[in-house]
Amino acid sequence: MSETIENPDIKIETGKIFINGEWRESSSGETFETINPANEEVITSVAKGTEEDANAAVTAAREAFDNGPWGKMGGKERSKVLLRIADKIDEHADELIMRESMDAGKLKRDVTHVDVPHIANMFRYYAGWTTKIDGSVKEPEGVLGENLLGYTRQEPLGIVTGISPYNFPLILSVSKIAPALAAGNCFIHKPASLTPLSAITLAKIMQEAGVPNGAYNLVTGPGGPVGGTFVKHPDVNKIAITGSTETGIRIAKDAADTMKHLTMELGGKSPNIIFEDADLDEAARIAAMGIFWNKGEVCVAGARILVQESVYDKFLEKLVEATSKMKVGDPMDETSDLGPMAGKAEFEKVLKYIDIAKNQDKADLVYGGEPAPVNGKGYYVTPTIFANANNQMRFVREEIFGPVVPVIPFKDFDEAIKIANDTPFGLAAGVQTRDTAKAIRAANLIKAGTIWLNTWHEYDPNMPFGGYKMSGYGREQGKEAFEAYTQTKSIWVGLGK
């Protein structure tokens, strides 16, 4: 274990709501506390938004889209704004890093080298697309045989609300914000109540970058009165959410009454297949990183490790060895590998599943399985490995969202694919083998939105991201994201005789 390193003595002001270019208190005057999971201390208070605040944000966004400068702005001008946002992210990097690390228990080094650069890259990537969202010219004949011209336009949807999760507050917000703004939509952000602090800085960046009033709004607060209002509001055209499958189902039902566009990146239980011909040392390193990165609070974590029987014991030994080198400690410590779970409820959920694995599923605990407080505080859990698991065990089938992984044996290629696909989820998967043809065959057969071959946790703004099955639908990132933030209009022109 590492020693606790005290966070720098910085003052984080009370968080406010940002609507129509103005910072304001909640309409109720109420606030809620956000807690540092590393030491269980209050960081600050944040405005507790209400239904009234949510409605005000929609009104502002609708006015900005219908009558404001953002709704009339061309692609070249939007591109300039997005590039300014990216530059402001670079300028405010230290503030974003500190808030994200303190609020979510994320390793400072990860936020520094992954999260913040990635969100700046996303804005720069989509800035290049603003002038390339166009339609096409057709040559229709028409049922009456007239002389006709046809063409299409790609137009923004209107008002988009992004509901983002607590595990990657910045990345999984910007993956919605950047393409939505690039396409010309107005945006309302509802961040997770567990981790709202970096979203407040992001709204400040939008203001400094010159995003017109109402084109970007932030409402912090609980999912029911705030998120629920957006989901049901007839003037919100789209909901983009990252969250649990249960939440996604509820939103889909509620949004149906107003026929909203939806993109949903939901739960996962991703298989990582280790074939007998893999480089076992490298496979063990990838597997440990695949499940334990960001303390397992990753929707695409390699949460089921499938190992061919002939190398099962040898691989398990190497996996335990790789895991034993990981240091649980304060996220501000550059030598830490796993920080705390993002909150107390998340911490308790992980411990519950460890108990289920041991006492209900009767899997063999071979490493970890304990709370790991640093100097007596914090929501830390040791990375945990269970052997001799099978795909019917409860802790194997349900999403734990923490640093807990079963290691499951399989006989041959066909059985590996069968086990991999035997899940309601389909967000991601991985294959470790020296045989390229085998890897590609497996990738073609696995029902998941992202497949990593001999690697894991690789991301880029130009690569689409999303799930199959109960892991949701729609894609974030890449040019494919525009399919979810625009709509196609067909225009017919009669050219006469």
Residues noted as catalytic: 265, 299
Report the distance separating Cα 107 and Cα 96, nearest Å.
Answer: 13
Please classify residue 2 by burial: count the beta carbons closer than 10 Å to its beta carbon, then call 0-12 exposed, 13-18 middle and 19+ buried: middle
Q: For residue 136, with 0-12 CB atoms within 10 Å meaning exposed, 13-18 middle and 19 or more buried, which class applies?
A: exposed
- Measured between alpha carbons, how far is 281 from 224 in angstroms, rounded to an integer? 47
Phi first, then psi: give them for residue 372, nearest 5 degrees: -140, 60
- Contacts (Cβ under 8 Å, ≥6 apart) of 259: none
CA distances from 374 to 105, 110, 288, 316, 388 (A): 13, 20, 22, 28, 31
Token pair in block for residue 325: 């080198």
Question: Which residues neighbour 389 within 8 Å (Cβ) at sequence distance 6 or greater?
Answer: 357, 361, 363, 395, 396, 406, 407, 408
DSSP 144: T
Bridge partner list, 59: none
Structure token digits, residue 199 = 């979203």
- Which CA distances in Å does 366 have to 117, 222, 391? 37, 39, 18
* Rg of the chain over all Cα atoms, to the nearest angstrom: 24
